[in-house]
Structure 1
Amino acid sequence: MNTLSKIITWKRNILASIVVLLTLSVLSFYGIYTNQFYFLKPDNYIFPILSVVHLLYLYVVWFKITEDELPDPKMRNIEYVLYVVMIIYLFKIYDSAMVLYSIGGFNEHVIPATFKPMATLTLVLYSILPILTLYTFWLRKRYIGIYNFENYNDNLNIWQ
């Protein structure tokens, strides 16, 4: 894991996560079957809203690492919410795979030429996102520390 952390540093991981999240947020409005964007469907806003939690967590990790701070209960709570969001990421992987493999059922219909590339791109990005997220959790544990709040007040030295 040390060689991986030399190749994919914490900054690269956070920046890659942001790029993947923003790309998937835009793609959540894209209709693969019709090759159009749909901004008036409320379902399309679910992923961008949930990705705000992920972006907030990435900001907190960036801030804690650059300022060399200890983890706090607010950061832990955001991470726990992100665990729930990870379940939705896994569902989106399954959903994207089902959409990609549904092309065989539409032989008599006109499907845009962009269907397969866009569905593949979406599936790949959704598959990368949990890996980057789990790696972010590992980086948090390595650079910021574990959540040990039993003696948290003992470790604080406000005069430093």
Structure 2
Amino acid sequence: MNNISKIITWKRNILASALVLLTLAVLSFYGVYTNQFYFLKADNYIFPLLTSVHFIYMYVIWFKISEDELPDPKMRNIEYILYVIMIVYLFKIYDSAVVLNSINVFDEHVIPATFKPIATLSLVLYSILPILTLYTFWLRKRYIGIYNFENYNDNLNIWQ
């Protein structure tokens, strides 16, 4: 894992996660069957709303590593919320695979030429997202530390 952390540094991981999240947020409004964007459907706003928690967590990680700070309870709570959001990410992988495999069902219908590339891109990005998220958790543990709040006040030294 140390070789991977030399190639994919914490900054690269956060930037790659941000790029994947932004791309998927845009693609959440795109209809692969119709080749159109749908901004008036409320369902399309769920994923971008959930990614806002992910962006907050990445900001906290960036700040804590840059400032060499210890973890705090607010950071832990955001991470726990992100664990629940990971279930949504796994569902989106399944959903994207179902959509991509549905091309055989609609042989008689007119399917846009962009269906297969965009559906494949979505599946790949949704598959990469949990890996990057788990790697971010590992980086948090490595660079910031574990959540140990029993002796949290003992470890604080305000004179440093």
**Structure-2-length-normalised TM-score:** 1.00
Could you say which residue in structure 2 is the equivalent of 1:70?
Answer: 70
Task: Tell me the residue number matched to 1:12.
Answer: 12
Q: CA separation in 2, counterparts of 1:88 and 1:121? A: 18
1:115 positional shift = 0.2
Equivalent in the alignment of 1:90: 90
Provide the rounded CA distance (Å) in 2 between the counterparts of 1:90 and 1:54: 15
1:121-132 to 2 correspondences below 5 Å: 121-132=121-132
1:72 deviation in Å? 0.1
> In structure 1, what is the Cα distance between the partners aligned to 2:112 and 2:5?
41
Q: 3-state SS of the aligned residue for 2:105?
A: helix
Matches within 5 A, 1:1-160: 1-160=1-160
Q: Which consecutive residues of structure 2, in runs of 5 or more, have no partner in the other structure?
A: none
* Distance (whole Å) between structure 1 residues aligned to residue 143 and residue 159 of structure 2: 22
Please report the TM-score for the alignment, with normalisation by the length of structure 1: 1.00
Distance 2:37 2:105 in 1: 23
Distance in 1 between residues matched to 2:159 and 2:46, nearest whole Å: 44
Q: CA offset at residue 2 of structure 1?
A: 0.3
Show CA shifts across 1:96-122 (max 9, x none).
000000000001000000000000000
Give the fraction of aligned pairs with identical amino acids, expressed as a percent: 84
> Structure 1: which 5+ runs fail to align?
none
Deviation of 1:6 after TM superposition, in Å, equals 0.3
Q: Distance in 2 between matches of 1:139 and 1:108?
A: 49
Deviation at 1:159, TM superposition (A): 1.4
Pairwise CA RMSD of aligned residues?
0.3
Q: Hey, what's the Cα distance between the residues in 1 that align with 2:80 and 2:2?
A: 26
Q: Which of structure 1's runs of 4+ aligned residues deviate more than 6 A?
A: none
Q: Secondary structure at the match of 1:34?
A: coil
The amino acid of 2:6's aligned partner reads K
State the Cα distance separating 1:11 from its structure 2 match: 0.3
